[in-house]
Structure 1
Amino acid sequence: MSTVELHTLTGAYAVHALPDAEHRAFERHLRDCEACAQEVRELSATAARLGLAVAAHPPLEMRERVLREITTVRQEPPVHERRERSGRGGRTGRWPAYALAACVAAAAAFGGAALWQNQLAQDARQEADRAQRQNQQLAEVLSAPDARTASGELAGGAHGAVVVSESRNRAVFLASGMERPPSGKVYQLWFNDAGAMRSAGLMDPSAGDGAVLLDGPVGRASGMGITIEPAGGSAEPTSSPVALMDFPAA
């Protein structure tokens, strides 16, 4: 397996989805590749947080709904069989209706929980895959031959830099020392399209340092801005910019 192929296995490794041979090969690769090791740590943390939800109990209304619907389903009567035991008269074996209903309810409840847990596991894998793709795109911008960088001071003594790749048509914002936004608020990034602000995604409220891949193509944007918005973001800026940065000239 080539090194290029090994670089693509971080997501599968983080969720323990690699065959034994690939698992061993990737662990040897991890010893020499700090970029993959960092990506695995981030994806494993994400998978672990989502994995906590998998252990949650199914909602109470699921059990009540199953028990309620059982009473409306007509059951076929059981087949009676006679069994001769030790020469004595046979006797009819019957499974009481309430026992059958209880088993059906239990099976439905456990089946529903299993489907629910399976969906959460799929969500974890999709989130890991999404993070892997985003990290790969971020790395491609930062390592692009035509990557250009501009830096500046932000509010509160923080530092910021923006890296733009024309060939990738993407930009990355690098932050250092940014204060956490107020409770219920989030930093939102914007492309500056000749004075019109176009949303470029949200920053993690708990991360004052790190790199963020701006959401969407650079297009004709000449710079970027950062505002503080309500959690979930806004369609357009609702506060004065925390920072405005021009993109580096070609």
Structure 2
Amino acid sequence: MAATVDIHALVGAYALDAVDDIERAAFERHLRDCESCTTEVAELRETTAWLAQPVAEAPPPRMRDAVLARVHSTPQERPKAAAASGRSGRRSLVRTWIVGVAASVVFAGAASAGTYAITQQQYAAQSASIDAVLAAADARLVSTQVEGGVVTMVVSPSHDAGVAVLNGLKKPEGSYQLWMISTSSSGDKSYRPLDVTDSGSGRFYVKGLAPEFGVSKEPRGGSKTGHPAEVVGGLTLR
């Protein structure tokens, strides 16, 4: 007797067109009555598209050389036997596709922030951290509109980390700064400053989650006080 399949588990495969015709028809019937799956499909499609987009600034030649050197020195995994379940194979394909995009995320984020002085070791460490978040079983998406664009985070509570994606925000006169925000029982907010970018698009690895994530407008170079000058958008993470 075939095992019962949770239709909700097909959301990732459907978003990446990794289902067969029967599963597609069944899932599309399910979408008519499931608002949460409809929203998740839309968010997955948007976010994977953003992760794959190039940024305007090209990385310098030394960064390209470092990546190619690592590719040539890294043994490639041999193909494995197909899994007994076609569905589990598709889930693996979905996860592999998302994780494969992560390499471009690291360099795109570095380029958008103007931080070109990245070593091969730094790239490898950050790439592995982003891979872990995107591939985590508990990874989820949250997003909101900010300054004419969209801010999205892929968060993994089990890794206490996330990947923040800024897409299409208006170019600031100064800089945008990212923050983790906590609120005490008395209502006082505490702010932990994260990355600063002069661009309205970029990708950033964030270690250490708080209940809220915020984006602020700051003077060029970021906050001078340790507090945001003007919060323009935020996300609830917990």
Give the alignment's TM-score, normalised by structure 1: 0.48
Give the alignment's TM-score, normalised by structure 2: 0.50
Higher RCO (C-alpha under 8 Å, 6+ residues apart): 2
